[in-house]
Amino acid sequence: MNPLKKSGRNKSGRPVNGWVILDKPLGLTSVQALARVRRLMDADKAGHAGTLDPLASGILPIALGEATKTIPFVQDATKVYDFRVVFGAEMTSDDLEGTATLTSGYRPDQTALLSVMGRFVGEIDQVPPVFSAVHIDGQRAYDLARAGVQVEMATRRVRIDRLHLARMDPDGAWADFSVVCGKGTYVRSLARDLARAVGGHGHVGLLRRRRVGPFDLACAIGLETLADLDYTARVDQALHPVQTALDDIPALAVTGLEEQRLRQGLPIMPGGRFASSASVIVKAMGPDGLVALLDCSGAIGRPVRVFNLSNQ
């Protein structure tokens, strides 16, 4: 995916620019959570960075206004999840929402789990759940599955940086894990495959996302708290700056004249301040903050995203 592809839609409402880091509750889809936040913020444009299933809770970064231009950088970021594998049944959806397709009386012990976990760290091949947002011939896999269409999911390469066994039921009925992973990793698939690797069947019983890129639970806000802020007309206190999503991107300080050129869509010459033979994305920072994202190659920096943050 091109990290500079545009996101978000124009809607009625006021111009609000920034991120709301929602601690999404159980039972809501990501789209429903997005709609509630957008309504509470009265924002004219909004989008979210990374879907969470209704049966999952935790970090759902929601971009408002100009922040929607930075969504892909958050979607591509490393994520951290806590999850529970419930042993005994493999489900159509690989979580509690589905129906059982395979069952087994086998319950693994800690030794069995630890012996297979190394197979799931690094670059691994993974088959997404049938009930997922993966596109198949232009349609979402979950729409096809719900319509009774037999869906063949293609294997994809994903990255898992760390997998930790936190605790488990003494009788082996369930085990809790934490995982640090890259873009496109399905925790439901990981749970299914862990259970298969020890010779049994299993599915996700609990799932909570603790981090997405620079955003974690320490900076998150719940819907009820956000609603209370809205009631007291302090809702903008929940906003994080647009550039928070770009913390890992190198910065280039630009002059007033260079800022004018960038706002007109014209390139600048970073010179020795940032010179690279390979193309690299750089954030241009003016005296008042974020100005643009530049594609720097050689001695030229071309604006690929220009931000209008004058309302803040």
CATH number of the domain bearing residue 278:
2.30.130.10
Question: Is 53 a residue of the active site?
Answer: yes
- Residue identified by tokens 């439901």 is 188
202 by DSSP, 3-state: which? strand
Considering the domain boundaries, does residue 262 fall inside one?
yes
Phi, psi of 67 (to 5 degrees): -65, -25
Give the domain CATH number at 66.
3.30.2350.10
Provide the pLDDT confidence category of residue 75 given band limits of 50, 70 and 90: very high
Provide the pLDDT confidence category of residue 8 given band limits of 50, 70 and 90: very low
pLDDT at position 46 over 90: yes
pLDDT at position 138 over 60: yes
Indicate if 28 and 124 belong to the same structural domain.
Answer: no
Residue 103 is predicted with a pLDDT of: 96
Indicate if 239 and 281 belong to the same structural domain.
Answer: no
Selected catalytic residue, list 23, 42, 44, 53: 53
Considering the domain boundaries, does residue 5 fall inside one?
no
Mean pLDDT within 6-28? 82
Provide the pLDDT confidence category of residue 258 given band limits of 50, 70 and 90: very high
Higher pLDDT, 98 or 83: 83
Total domains in the fold of the chain: 3
CA neighbours closer than 13 Å in the CB half-sphere of residue 13: 19
Note down the domain range covering 85.
79-212
- Quote the CA–CA distance of 175 and 86 in Å, as a whole number: 7
Indicate if 177 and 86 belong to the same structural domain.
Answer: yes
Among the candidates 212, 230, 263, a domain finishes at 212
Considering the domain boundaries, does residue 12 fall inside one?
no
Considering the domain boundaries, does residue 13 fall inside one?
no
Indicate if 255 and 160 belong to the same structural domain.
Answer: no
Residue 139 is predicted with a pLDDT of: 63
Residue 10 is predicted with a pLDDT of: 47
pLDDT at position 5 over 50: no
Indicate if 168 and 207 belong to the same structural domain.
Answer: yes
Considering the domain boundaries, does residue 33 fall inside one?
yes
pLDDT at position 7 over 80: no
pTM: 0.88
Indicate if 83 and 71 belong to the same structural domain.
Answer: no
Indicate if 152 and 255 belong to the same structural domain.
Answer: no
Provide the pLDDT confidence category of residue 129 given band limits of 50, 70 and 90: confident
Report the percentage of the chain scoring pLDDT > 70: 87
Indicate if 190 and 174 belong to the same structural domain.
Answer: yes
279-299 pLDDT, tens digit per residue, is 889 999 999 899 999 998 878
Indicate if 148 and 268 belong to the same structural domain.
Answer: no
Provide the pLDDT confidence category of residue 306 given band limits of 50, 70 and 90: very high
Helix-helix angle 187-197:110-117, to 10 degrees: 120
| Measured CA angle at 65 (ends 63, 66), to 5 deg | 90
CA neighbours closer than 13 Å in the CB half-sphere of residue 73: 22
Considering the domain boundaries, does residue 6 fall inside one?
no
Give the chain's mean pLDDT: 89
Indicate if 34 and 131 belong to the same structural domain.
Answer: no
Higher pLDDT, 134 or 250: 250
Number of H helices, E strands in the chain: 7, 17
